[in-house]
Amino acid sequence: MLIPRSSSCCARALRLSTHHHAIAMAVPSLLSSFSHLFPRGHGFKPFPQFLSSSCSASPFSSLSSVPSPMPNRRSKTPVAAALLEIGGVKIAKDDVVRESDPTNNVPDNIFSKIGLQLHRRDNHPVGILKNAIFDYFDTNYASKFVKFDDLCPIVSVQQNFDEVLVPADHVSRSYNDTYYVNADTVLRCHTSAHQAELLREGHSHFLVTGDVYRRDSIDSTHYPVFHQMEGVRVFSPDEWKDSGTDATSYAAMDLKKCLEGLARHLFGAVEMRWVDTYFPFTNPSFELEIYFQENWMEVLGCGVTEQDILTRNGRKDSVAWAFGLGLERLAMVLFDIPDIRLFWSTDQRFTSQFSEGKLGVKFKPFSKFPPCYKDISFWISDSFTENNLCEVVRGVAGDLVEEWNVREAVQGKLYVTLR
């Protein structure tokens, strides 16, 4: 069922750039755009779980979205180990998956990914890439960057959102987009969740790698669990005072130099460009794009850390830069891996193709089965969201479904084809 599909899109940045917002306004998610076609509460509803969220389907489709709890959708995938330990924290399944709690929306199949830590496997493409990035920082910064790759992915709403200045009404806080363990606790949706605590602990150079979780659609570049790396460097006043520029320009220049070097380390002598964007936690904010295989590809998001974050965390007189990158997105390009679900494969025909230290070995497809199509149809209400459908599909079919398309929407009924 793993059929290569070319796509370079896997960027789900926590941002609200005017550019993306404009696109979201112009091309609303297909299913969200259906919703207003249908009368509220119309017809028989065979899948009540689809109707539970009132939030937008796209992170960029709305500026305002208040988290609202919803009933749980439960999967039929195998139950995961009942007790995990991550970074010294013991996690019982009941701590994370709570069917009777309306403020909890973590299904079994997501719990089963916690603790797998693909980024800590030296023979896995995600781990190989992480190590290659570590090598770059160790070589160029005399091992000054402290590395964290075992921080627990269960974090407070405060860590995940408030401490990095994500606005109270930002869509990423919604139950449609984020996995809530309860009203105050989430599965981190980005590694930026650890920035503030590490600054408070006094670190000035650090890299945080970890698994992050986002409710999402089904396609070859999106999966509800993926891996990110966050980098932060803090400068003290004596570092920029003789530079002839202000602190912010100094940090921005250093950031760009560092990340251009990283891109060359990973991709060779590529053409690059900087694009201005928006993140709640940096100002100014940028994206780095490289020209690769005849396309401009977004590599990472970054910027000069908002002064408020530094001030609140004991670094009043400092300036800092930060970046965040998605490891699967880059690994898909570097290793020619056509489908993001493959990263989770335990099939030897996948795992045996990669070995420690070998960045950029090209993946050879091995599936010999043709795709199989399944048509389904059901009634929907105007609170239907694409993420809720995909969550149910994953709960029933695991990772077998690689894509879904809407064939038709007639009088409150949606006809979908799964592949």
Tell the smallest beta-carbon distance from residue 290 to ligand DAH (Å): 17
Where in 317-336 is the site for ligand DAH (CB under 6 A)? Answer: 322-324
Distant-in-sequence, close-in-space partners of 28: CB < 8 Å, separation ≥ 6: 58, 61
Residues 170/61, Cβ–Cβ less than 8 Å: no
Tell the smallest beta-carbon distance from residue 291 to ligand DAH (Å): 21
Where in 228-257 is the site for ligand DAH (CB under 6 A)? Answer: 230
Tell the smallest beta-carbon distance from residue 318 to ligand DAH (Å): 15
Nearer to ligand DAH, 52 or 277 (CB): 277
First to last CA, the chain: 8
Where in 350-409 is the site for ligand DAH (CB under 6 A)? Answer: none
Where in 257-296 is the site for ligand DAH (CB under 6 A)? Answer: 279, 281-282
Tell the smallest beta-carbon distance from residue 322 to ligand DAH (Å): 3
Taking residue 348's Cβ as centre, other Cβ atoms within 10 Å add up to 9
In whole angstroms, give the CA distance from residue 23 to residue 35. 19
- The owner of tokens 């896997």 is 10
Nearer to ligand DAH, 106 or 252 (CB): 252
Distant-in-sequence, close-in-space partners of 187: CB < 8 Å, separation ≥ 6: 96, 106, 110, 114, 153, 154, 155, 178, 179, 181, 212, 213
Peptide bond between residue 237 and the one before it cis (omega within 30 degrees of 0):
no
Kindly state the DSSP code that residue 153 receives in the 8-state scheme.
Answer: S
229 DSSP β-pair partners: 209, 325
Tell the smallest beta-carbon distance from residue 305 to ligand DAH (Å): 7
Nearer to ligand DAH, 323 or 363 (CB): 323
Question: Could you tell me whether strands 295-305 and 319-326 are parallel, antiparallel, or unpaired per DSSP bridges?
Answer: antiparallel
* Closest chain position to ligand DAH (CB): 324
Nearer to ligand DAH, 185 or 228 (CB): 228
Q: Is 192 in the site for ligand DAH (CB under 6 A)?
A: yes
Tell the smallest beta-carbon distance from residue 302 to ligand DAH (Å): 5
Nearer to ligand DAH, 164 or 389 (CB): 164
Residues 66/167, Cβ–Cβ less than 8 Å: no
Segment contacting ligand DAH by CB under 6 A, of 19-27, 97-105, 263-271, 299-307: 299-307
Distant-in-sequence, close-in-space partners of 276: CB < 8 Å, separation ≥ 6: 284, 285, 286
- Tally helices (H) and strands (E) across the chain: 13, 15
Q: Is 175 in the site for ligand DAH (CB under 6 A)?
A: no
Residue of 113, 188, 190, 227 interacting with ligand DAH (CB under 6 A): 190
Tell the smallest beta-carbon distance from residue 160 to ligand DAH (Å): 10
Binding residues for ligand DAH, total number by CB under 6 A? 14
Where in 59-118 is the site for ligand DAH (CB under 6 A)? Answer: none
Tell the smallest beta-carbon distance from residue 330 to ligand DAH (Å): 13
Residue of 301, 338, 395, 412 interacting with ligand DAH (CB under 6 A): 301
Residues 245/156, Cβ–Cβ less than 8 Å: no
In whole angstroms, give the CA distance from residue 155 to residue 189. 9
Question: Rounded to the nearest 5°, which phi and psi values hold at 206?
Answer: -150, 155
Q: Is 14 in the site for ligand DAH (CB under 6 A)?
A: yes
Q: Is 210 in the site for ligand DAH (CB under 6 A)?
A: no
Residue ranges binding ligand DAH (CB under 6 A): 13-14, 190, 192, 230, 279, 281-282, 301-303, 322-324
